[in-house]
Structures are given as C-alpha cells and as structure tokens.
Amino acid sequence: MKTFYSRLALLFPAVAYLGIVCPLSAGTLTGSLRIIEEPSVNLSTNGTIDWVHWGLFTETTLNRKAGVLPEISDFTVRSGAGTNAFVFAYQFSDNENGYTWTDGDPVAGVTNTTTGVWAYGIPSIGTGFEFTVPAGTSMRTLKVYCGVFAGTGRFTASLSDDSAANYTTTFNNIPGNGPSREVTLHFAADSPGQTLTIRWVLQTPAGSAAANVTLQAAALSATGVNNPPIVRLTSPAANANIPAGTTVTVAATASDLDGTIASVDFYANGSKIGSDSSSPYSADWGAPAPGRYVLSAIATDNEGESTTSVSVEVLVHVEGGTLTVTAVQPPSTVNLTVEGASDWQHWGLASSNLVNRKAGVPPSIDMETIGTTTLHVYSDNYTAFGWSDGTPTLATTPVPHGVFVYGRTNGFEIILSASATRRQARVYAGVYGGQGHFQAWLSDFSTAAYHDHSLSNFFDSSYRLFTLDYAAASPGQSLIIRYVAEKLFDGDFGNVTLQAVTLQGGEVPPSPVQILNPVMSGGSLQFSFQSVEGRMYEAQWRDALDTGLWQTFATVAGTGGLLTVTNWNANGVERFYRVETK
C-alpha cells in the first residue's frame, strides 16, 4: 500500500489575519435519536403538515400526505468520492418496524408496511441519500426514519443560511440488520425562504461488501403553531354513477389533532352545495342535472386553518343510451382493415406524431394526450398490428408498435362518433409500472359511465383489449374515453400505452371517390378508385355535365382496396364519368 501526503504552503505577510466563519446565532437546529420500538409508526399522526414514505412497491415509489402542498422533497442518491464512483437505490421489504397511514396519495391507506429503500455504491463509504424541507422563522419538527445494514451511518442536518450549527449523529447495526432509528429535528432559520438539508450516508462498513444505509419515511409537523385539520370524502364513492333526479348525500370525515373542527363545506365543480358544523359531516346535494362532477370538502378548524380533501369524480346520468364494455387480454396479431370496417387509427408506426388511419372514410376517431407530457414511441408491444387500407401508410405487415406517456394523471383522451345507431369500438391499451384508469361515457349522459382499474403492474407491462358496444339517446353525440395513469409504482418510468382503436357499425356517411389512372384502350375507358369494405359503388357516365341522365355501366362491392372498372365500347366520344357511393 502506498501512502500519499499532501502539503499546504502558507506565506504570511508581516500582519496576519485569521478569518473564521461562524454560524449566525438567530436560527435553531437541535436533534435527538431513538431506536424505533413500536411495531408500526403512524405517519398520518406524526406528519400533520406533510409526510413521505419511500419504496412501497419499487425504489421509485413515493407516497405522501394527500390534500396538502408537498414540502418534503423526494430523495436524491449521494455517491462516495472517486472517478469511477456510482450509487443506486433499491427497494427492500424486511424493515424491523412498519409504517401506517390513512391520508396518503397515491395509495390512500396502508397498514404496517415494512418497505423502504437502500443505497449501494462503489466506493461504499459516503453513499446514501439527501432530501430537503423548507425552513422559515417559525419552529418546525421533522422526524426522519432510517436504518443501516452492516455498518455505521452518519446523519447530518444543515440550514441553508448557516444560522445554527449543523446537527450530526451516527448509529450502527453490526454485523447485519437491526432496528431503524427515528431522528427528531427541531429547526427554525434566521430568515424566511431557507432550506433544511438532510444527508444520510454510510460512514463505515463493518466488514461486509453489502454495507448500506436505508431510508423509509419522514414526517413534518410544527411546534407551537396550529396544525391543519384532516378531511376525507366518504360518500359518494369515487366514480359513482348517480341516476338523474336523485338527492345525493355528500359526506366526509374530519378531525384536528390539536383542536376542533369548526365546519366542513362541500363543493361540486367548485360551487358550494352545503356546510355542516357537527359530526358526522354531510350535505344534501339536491337532484343535480346530468353531467360529470368533481366533489370536494374543505374542513376548517377552530383557529381558522383549512384543508381541502382529495376530490372525487361522479357522473349523473339519464336513460336512453347504452354502453357495455368487456376487457380481455388482446390477441397477438390484429388486422385493422378487417376489424375497423367503419374506421380505425394506429399510433407509433415510425414516429410519435405519425397517425395512420383508414383511408377513404370520414374520420370518426380522434385522440389527444392528457397532461403536460410528451408522446413516445415503442416497438415491443404484445400485439402486432397490420393493415391494407391506410393513410398515409397504405399497408404494412403486423408491427408491435405503439405510443406511451410518462407521469401520473397523464394519458389519452379518445373521441368517437355516437348516435342512436349501435356501434362497436375496440381500444388496445397497456401500462408499465403503474395502474391505469380507463373510463368511458356518452356526451349526452344517457347511460352510466364505465370505469376499469384492472390494468396494473408493479414491475412490468400489462395489456387490455376494451370492447365497447354503445349507442347514444340522440344523434350528433360522442363516446368519450379517457385512459390515464392513476398510480405509478415506478415513479421514474411508469407509463400508460395506446396502440390502436377500431370502429364498426354506425351511420358512417360515404366519402367522395377520386378517379385514378384513367386509360383509353381499344375504344374502351378503364379507371380505378379506392373502395371501402361494405360499401357498394356505381360507375356512371353521361355526355354533358349539365344535361342528361347519368348512365350506370358497372356496379361493384367495396373490398377495402383499389377497384378497377371498364366502360366498354366508348367509341371515342366525349363522356363525363363519376362513381356514386351507396
């Protein structure tokens, strides 16, 4: 082993000055450490302002307190020094104590989960986690729940304005696993708009190459100030279908850990529908008109602090329409030309902005993305799609392509034509590392909406073929389909996918036909045109555009491809031609 020494040469002038940076004294940062002995820590109780839990399903899964402005940041991993250093976070599920919550998002409630994340890197010393919390002049309390395996960890908390000395502590578990610790920090900065930074890293491994530090949760509360109340809607249930003319009871639970509830106000689409000042809290919503509504509740405590609940979406409907849906595993290959007799669309053949659709028909399918997201292409879908009547790509052999979008609540909205005539639509969709919410309703609200949450996968991809049979109560309506990521189990890469939509039935109006490749040969005229499967075509002629009757010389059935017809013995006279679609 070689030992390296470094030297520092200092040149002192005749008068030397010694500068020392001292922390300001107006801030506060104190801490304490304890072994977690209770079987489960209640984050909802401890995190009255905010809380987070890491690693419920994967290393990127983040659950936090619902209905509040997030204050505790997600973690970043810290690497030890070295040119070739690296560090990664992994999920684990054998922590000695558990964590419980009842006001979470995206997972509303969990009892005694023993999950968390751990950091591993080369070099191992110095690897770990960092996250931040806002700091102002008011005193706050942060509890951090962390552990260490086969080594000693170093915990450091610091204020961004250096108005108090850093808090540092260490603890170890040797030789392997052991109990987690709760580090409690009381802090206030000298000025508003500051930051408390937490660093939790491996200080010394204890002879094991797998030595690491773990991070499970953090909870933020305030000392000596009023904490906001907790409120949750309990009725009606999310995505409830409510018949028009029904008086709806909207109910909520509300509590305040350091006071009492003064009132709970209830809202539908932002308009107040009632208020209640005594438990159980509820308001009667009198016979709402047909439509989609977002319900919420605002609880106010005895000191005027308010909290808004997680919103709930419901649909009020009348009768007269129909919507039935099945969801199954899709086949390995699909011929869109055969299946989409009325219309079809496919996304992602070559680029994210390339949309292929059925040629020669008026478009009956439209899609837009939901949320602030970018559309991405992928090419390893379970189902491969082919067609022979497309535009701008006329035909292709089956290809496993589609598009996807990252991010929770992001996804796709599909609009399909609807009338009193029954149609059938088929939607091919998927999910990776998350749970999707597929919903559909008619624009005239003439039947109950459909909701599906079955597309869910913690670590991989899942796929569904949704078949929708539908008819509205009146003409000129739409079937609206929304498919979004409801939960993300992989916070970095979780996404929802869309590949194709096909449409059959309905009153699809005929589209104009373009005559192609006219050729005179031996006194006869021959030309071609693009056809639609299921349509009949009459090829006609007359001697003048403004006089005379059109004469039919050929009647042919559409095949979905090019058709060729011949007007025999035209004898070289001037004639005008057209093709009429039936």
Could you tell me which residues come within 8 angstroms of residue 96 by beta carbon, excluding any fewer than 6 positions away? Answer: 36, 114, 147, 177, 178, 179, 180
**Nearest Cα residue to 197 out of 132, 260, 242:** 132
Per-residue pLDDT reduced to its tens digit, 279-307 = 999 999 999 999 999 999 999 999 998 98
* C-beta atoms surrounding 402 within 10 Å: 26
Of 8-12, 92-96, 410-414, 472-476, least confident by mean pLDDT is: 8-12
Total residue count of the chain as it appears in this document:
582
- For residue 339, give the DSSP letter: H
Question: Could you tell me which residue, 66 or 84, shows the higher pLDDT?
Answer: 66
Token pair listed for 558: 């559409």
**Nearest Cα residue to 383 out of 438, 336, 424:** 336
Residue 8: band (very low, low, confident or very high) from pLDDT cuts 50, 70, 90: very low
Q: Is the pTM higher than 0.85? A: no
- For residue 77, give the DSSP letter: E
Token pair listed for 579: 């093709």
- Is the pLDDT at 275 greater than 90? The verdict is yes
Residue 531: band (very low, low, confident or very high) from pLDDT cuts 50, 70, 90: confident
Residue 234: band (very low, low, confident or very high) from pLDDT cuts 50, 70, 90: very high
Question: Could you tell me which residue, 552 or 67, shows the higher pLDDT?
Answer: 552
Residue 13: band (very low, low, confident or very high) from pLDDT cuts 50, 70, 90: very low
Query: Facing residues of 315 across strands?
Result: 241, 292
Per-residue pLDDT reduced to its tens digit, 157-212 = 999 999 999 999 999 988 888 899 999 999 999 999 999 999 999 998 887 888 99
Domains 230-317 and 516-581 fall in the same CATH topology: yes
Could you tell me which residues come within 8 angstroms of residue 3 by beta carbon, excluding any fewer than 6 positions away? Answer: none
CA 447 remoteness from chain centre = 27
Specify the CATH number of the domain 516-581.
2.60.40
Summarize the confidence of residues 212-226 as an average pLDDT.
Answer: 89
Domain 322-505 belongs in CATH node 3.30.300: no
Residue 402: band (very low, low, confident or very high) from pLDDT cuts 50, 70, 90: very high
Could you tell me which residues come within 8 angstroms of residue 51 by beta carbon, excluding any fewer than 6 positions away? Answer: 43, 44, 64, 65, 72, 101, 217, 218, 219, 220
Classify burial at 476, counting beta carbons within 10 Å of its beta carbon; exposed 0-12, middle 13-18, buried 19 or more: exposed
**What pLDDT is stored for residue 508 in this prediction?**
55
Per-residue pLDDT reduced to its tens digit, 533-555 = 778 899 998 888 877 788 999 99
Q: Which single residue is written with the structure tokens 């189990």?
A: 489
- For residue 38, give the DSSP letter: S
* pLDDT more than 70, % of the chain: 93
Question: Could you tell me which residue, 477 or 547, shows the higher pLDDT?
Answer: 477
**What pLDDT is stored for residue 264 in this prediction?**
97
Distance CA 274, CA 409 (A): 29
Q: CB of 78 within 8 A of CB of 215?
A: no
Question: Could you tell me which residue, 371 or 122, shows the higher pLDDT?
Answer: 371
What value does the mean pLDDT of the chain take? 89
- Is the pLDDT at 64 greater than 80? The verdict is yes
**What pLDDT is stored for residue 82 in this prediction?**
54
**What pLDDT is stored for residue 84 in this prediction?**
56
Q: Where are the domains of the chain?
A: 28-207, 230-317, 322-505, 516-581
**What pLDDT is stored for residue 21 in this prediction?**
42
* C-beta atoms surrounding 419 within 10 Å: 17
Per-residue pLDDT reduced to its tens digit, 391-401 = 999 999 999 99
**What pLDDT is stored for residue 5 in this prediction?**
27
CA 395 remoteness from chain centre = 33
Token pair listed for 24: 């300001």
Considering the domain delimited by 230-317, tell me its CATH architecture. Answer: Sandwich (2.60)
Summarize the confidence of residues 337-344 as an average pLDDT.
Answer: 94
Token pair listed for 501: 């939509």
Q: Which amino acid is at 515?
A: I
